[in-house]
Amino acid sequence: MRGEDVKHISRVLRLKAGDAVQLCDGRGSECEAVIESVAPDSVTFRTQPWTGAKSEPDVSVTLFQCLPKAGKMETIIQKCVELGAARFVPVQSERCVVVLKPPYEGRVERWQRVSEEAAKQSKRGRIPEVALPESLNRLDFSAFDTVLVAYENERTVSLKQALRAHPCRKLAVIVGPEGGFSEDEIAVLTAKGAVSVSLGTRILRTETAGMAMLAQIMYEVEP
């Protein structure tokens, strides 16, 4: 092992040869290991067989988050990684206050670092990917079993009802910006197969809605 993790092991955690640790490859596998040596720029381990990470949920949830005001995206990514999100897609919609213009790479790289740090802190077995921003009208949901969009004007279908009525292996969750979705945008999303769901009688902020949905999804589908 090299890089920043070496500094964390030697200077922050102050681990030494003979100490037991748990390693993760960031792609869903983990193993028990013992430190063999600690050098200024590297750490070596004696590892046990690699297995699937026990911290990873059975359901894969991609959060399509409409762009919030400055600073909120970092919080959304951090907390939703802790709650088990598998992937993030920043979305530009009609009522977004923030309008991102290319190149996006610098912003996405910063969000990806937030995801990595949150994954390490919460002992995830996988580092969730943050994709490049996409326009709402161009979203493709063909890879998902079920697509759920939080909509404050939904009066019939609750999130719980939708989760119990549809497959929950590969989910897409869509959260609007501070101003919510327009009726035309909801029509576009439902035409693509999205199910409009209510999150209850109270209106949640955009930075709260994704976290609330992730928590309820994990409660409903995890053993």
39 and 142: one domain? no
Domain count across the chain? 2
76 and 18: one domain? no
Domain range for 31:
4-52
Give the chain's count of helices (H) and strands (E): 6, 11
Q: Measured between alpha carbons, how far is residue 29 from residues 20, 23, 171 in Å?
A: 17, 9, 22
What distance lies between CA 92 and its chain's CA centroid? Answer: 18
pTM of the model: 0.88
CATH code at 76?
3.40.1280.10
CATH code at 14?
2.40.240.20
Q: Which amino acid would we find at residue 149?
A: V
For tokens 């500094």, what's the residue?
7
83 and 191: one domain? yes
Structural element, H or E, at residue 123: none
Could you read off the pLDDT tens digit of each residue along the chain, which spans 223 residues? 666 778 778 777 788 889 898 888 888 888 888 989 888 888 899 999 998 888 899 999 999 999 999 889 999 999 999 999 999 999 999 999 988 888 899 999 999 999 999 999 999 999 999 999 999 999 999 999 999 999 999 999 999 999 999 999 999 999 999 999 999 999 999 999 999 999 999 999 999 999 999 999 999 998 7
